[in-house]
């Protein structure tokens, strides 16, 4: 109780399976006494493109635009665009970040990737000498909750798509761990479109059940071995 959760949600349709997973998380965590904030990226028409519009006022170097340098400088002087500042404030306040999305091309949808690209600015989320365990967003947890089109059998080491953990490497390790955020076990609902109504209900119940004891979970050991061993 009292914990703050930010759910960054990337699905266009509230009636979707992802929409149902979001609804469950909001209801269950609220019931526990957590304060829950949702960034509904499509509904917000969140801008995924990393452009010079993200910087308010004069550029550090207007001769040759460098997005990483410009957003870093803008962050330091309080010159990032309003939508970024708002998202950073939500991240700053959160104890737990949940990302809820359908898998697109072995990755997160572009709108969510754009959120990562634009919100996790140098100086805010990490710094030259402050990355991984030293990242700037320490004492926070993250959880990737996503759905797939392919069945679970497609995502094992021996199968055509390879272990699902390979896909998680850039998201969990390359982004969250890099920024100092601890990572909880991912929550994966395989192939809801091809599942029976009964199986779908089961998957939704499993998410509710997991959320009930979420705060007792230990983060994974987010090292190369977890992904590739």
Residue 109 token pair: 């949808």
Stretch that binds ligand FAD, among 27-35, 76-84, 101-109, 126-134 (CB under 6 A): 101-109
Stretch that binds ligand FAD, among 52-60, 91-99, 192-200, 208-216 (CB under 6 A): 192-200
147 binds ligand FAD (CB under 6 A): yes
Q: Which residue has the tokens 């600015």?
A: 121
Stretch that binds ligand FAD, among 81-89, 100-108, 130-138, 173-181 (CB under 6 A): 100-108
222 binds Zn ion (CB under 5 A): yes
- Helices 82-93 and 110-119 sit at what angle, rounded to 10 degrees? 90
16 binds ligand FAD (CB under 6 A): yes
Q: Which residues bind Zn ion (CB under 5 A)?
A: 173, 177, 222
Q: Which residues bind ligand FAD (CB under 6 A)?
A: 11, 16-18, 20, 102-106, 147-150, 192-193, 197, 200-201, 204
């Amino acid at each position: 109780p009292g914990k703050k959760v930010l759910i960054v949600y990337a699905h266009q349709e509230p009636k979707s399976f992802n929409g149902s997973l979001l609804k469950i998380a909001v209801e269950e965590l609220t019931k526990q006494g957590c304060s829950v904030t949702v960034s509904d990226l499509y509904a917000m028409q969140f801008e995924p493109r990393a452009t010079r519009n993200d910087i308010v006022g004069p550029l550090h170097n207007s001769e040759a635009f460098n997005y990483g340098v410009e957003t870093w400088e803008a962050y330091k002087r309080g010159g990032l665009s309003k939508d970024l500042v708002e998202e950073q404030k939500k991240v700053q306040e959160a104890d737990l970040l949940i990302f809820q999305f359908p898998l697109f091309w072995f990755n997160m949808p572009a709108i969510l990737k754009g959120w990562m690209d634009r919100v996790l600015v140098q100086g805010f989320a990490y710094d030259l000498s402050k990355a991984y365990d030293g990242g700037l967003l320490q004492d926070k947890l993250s959880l990737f909750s996503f759905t797939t089109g392919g069945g679970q059998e497609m995502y094992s080491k021996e199968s055509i798509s390879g272990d699902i953990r390979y896909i998680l490497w850039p998201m969990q390790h390359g982004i969250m761990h890099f920024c100092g955020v601890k990572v909880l076990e991912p929550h994966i609902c395989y192939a809801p479109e091809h599942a029976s109504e009964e199986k779908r209900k089961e998957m939704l119940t499993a998410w509710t059940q997991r959320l009930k004891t979420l705060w007792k979970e230990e983060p994974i050991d987010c090292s190369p071995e977890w992904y590739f061993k």
